Amino acid sequence: MKLVHLAAAGTIAVLGVAALAKPEMVAPFNAHYKIKPESNLGKLHCVVCHLPGGTKLGPYGADMKKAMAALKAKTLTPAVLKKLEALDSDKDGVKNLAEIKADSNPNDAKVKPAKKK
Ligand SMILES: [Ca+2]
């Protein structure tokens, strides 16, 4: 009886960690935009979609969730990412694609690319 409980608790713990890290979300994003691990976006990792320190989604992550639902996508596909590119999820005046290309954060209104002159 005790063993069964332990096994169940272990399974829950493993699933919890998997839900937090989301490598299945980060990998296609990084591959699609050719994000280098040492770049700002590469270091942000989960925080590109989630709010720091939590599982809660930020504005870009929330738009991604909506796009995945609209396309009935179970995984992060290039079509989902494409749908997000023309949006300005964090409403800082810079479109998501421009932020990603500039290695800025589309999930944080306080972070935007330096203005080009
Ligand atoms: Ca933006």
Task: Tell me, in angstroms, the distance from the centre of ligand 1 to residue 19's CA.
Answer: 26
Rounded to two decimals, the pTM is 0.79
What residues does each domain of the chain span? 22-101
pLDDT of 14 over the 60 cut: no
- Cα of 113 vs centre of ligand 1, distance in Å, is 9
Distance (Å) of CA 73 to CA 6, 26, 58, 68, 80: 34, 15, 19, 5, 8
What is the 83 CA–ligand 1 centroid distance (Å)? 14
* Predicted confidence (pLDDT) per residue in 40-69, tens digit: 999 999 999 999 887 899 999 999 999 999
Between the CA of 69 and the centroid of ligand 1 the distance, in Å, is 21
User: What percent of the chain lies above the pLDDT cut of 70?
Assistant: 79
In the reported structure, the alpha carbon of residue 94 is separated from the centroid of ligand 1 by a whole-number distance in angstroms of 4
